[in-house]
Amino acid sequence: MRFDVDSFREIADSLVRNKSRSLLTGFGVFWGIFMLLFLIGGGQGLKQMITSNFEGFATNTGILVSSQTSLPFKGFKEGRYWRLSYTDVDRLKQMMPELQTVTPVISTGGRDAVYGTNTSTASVRGIYADYQRIETPKIRYGRYLNDADILQERKVCVIGKRIYNDLFPDGGDPCGAFIQVGPVYYQVVGVDYSSGNISIGGRSDQSVLIPLPLAQKIYNRGRDVDLICTAAYSGIRMSDLEPRMRQIIAQQHQFDPSDKQAMVLINTEQMFALVDNLFMGVNFLIWLVGLGTILAGVIGVSNIMMVTVRERTTEIGIRRAIGATPRDILSQIILESIALTLVAGSFGIVFAVQLLRLMEKIVSMNPDNPAASFQIGFGLAVAAALLLTLLGVVAGMAPASRAMAIKPVDAMRDE
């Protein structure tokens, strides 16, 4: 193909002469590439927003919650309530060596946290220091609760991001300050900036974490616990451990191990798998719709180029008569097709990027929304441009073959 100034001038003249037709055909390519890239960027941002709800949680975490039985068992009727206890924690540790961490949680919500004249609604959670293996904290100031805090039952706490913003609106390091939660004053030793939305006795950003033995005495909980959080060693699937965990707890509390309602087990592995499977289907639909729309636009380009060749039969015949080679005719038609698809597609790429940027700004305006990137990568944009070039060549092949088959004598007779 010849890539000289005359060739590009002829292509530009042809597109200008058929500008209404070119605009109509180019819109199909524009819309196709825009739809593909916009859907890819939107799907990517949506997935990040959903997965951020699991921020800090490992994929092999299981959370046990007691509930009401739904099946009769050994003389006990259905509808019986029961409670998890420290005995269950000890049994799981002893009978399931596959579990790296087994830690109880006591929680109570709707408590007012007060510092000076500032107030905030908080969920108080009593935990052990090893709870950070279940939900990895993001410590902004200070430290996390440690074993000394637990053993000495210190009146200290780690506060979540929203509690920090409400009680300390001026910012700065709050460590050492005393806040009142209910009737008790706690010294702040850390600020956790985790933003996950899985509620384990309260959202992370609205939680006040205190030593579990202290919470046990303050709220008169005895040996009952609200949750038991477990984490398996690396390479062990929580789904494989679930039946044994149910068997152990059911034996202790006399309910049917097959009664899924009696004990709820929140398996983060299943949650991650559900999100992955969901977006595998979403991505398939995105590519199906996007590529289908692009191909429809390219077929339109091919049809329009075919009409253009038919209208320029005489012109092509004259060029052949004065010495133009088939290669010259082929290069001009294919370059026109490439130019049409590439120009229209470039506008589609730019429009998709700008609209995704606007969407990202709108989402970030709400502080409750997790951070997510809706932008497509530079490599994807380049790949889209190369795809358009290839499709432009394909779209121009049939019209170019028709143009090469035109004989000068037939073209003159047609005139």
Amino acid 395: pLDDT: 74
Question: Are 122 and 29 members of one domain?
Answer: no
Amino acid 295: pLDDT: 80
Final residue belonging to a domain, choices 199, 232, 265: 232
Final residue belonging to a domain, choices 176, 202, 232: 232
Final residue belonging to a domain, choices 170, 200, 232: 232
Question: Are 41 and 129 members of one domain?
Answer: no
The pLDDT-based confidence of 413 (bands split at 50, 70, 90) is low
Measured distance CA(398)–CA(392) in Å, rounded: 11
In a domain, 67, yes or no: no
The pLDDT-based confidence of 407 (bands split at 50, 70, 90) is low
Amino acid 54: pLDDT: 67
Question: Are 298 and 228 members of one domain?
Answer: no
The average pLDDT across 19-26 equals: 56
Measured distance CA(395)–CA(297) in Å, rounded: 10
In a domain, 404, yes or no: yes
Question: Are 285 and 360 members of one domain?
Answer: yes
Question: Are 186 and 309 members of one domain?
Answer: no
The average pLDDT across 128-151 equals: 92
Domains held by the chain: number? 2
Give the rounded percent of residues in the chain with a pLDDT score beyond 90: 31
In a domain, 194, yes or no: yes
Q: Which of 52-56, 74-78, 143-147, 279-283 has the highest mean pLDDT?
A: 143-147
Amino acid 147: pLDDT: 93
In a domain, 167, yes or no: yes
pTM exceeds 0.75 for this model: no
Containing domain of residue 355, as a range? 5-53+273-414
Amino acid 13: pLDDT: 52
In a domain, 339, yes or no: yes
Question: Are 126 and 29 members of one domain?
Answer: no
The average pLDDT across 376-398 equals: 80
What is the SS3 assignment for 187?
Answer: strand
DSSP assignment of 270-309 equals HHHHHHHHHHHHHHHHHHHHHHHHHHHHHHHHHHHHHHHH
What does pLDDT average to over the chain?
A: 81
Q: % helix / strand / coil in the chain, to the nearest 5?
A: 55, 20, 25
pLDDT tens-digit map of 313-364: 666 666 666 666 667 777 777 777 777 788 888 888 888 889 888 888 888 7
In a domain, 402, yes or no: yes
Measured distance CA(89)–CA(153) in Å, rounded: 20
Report CA Rg, the chain: 33
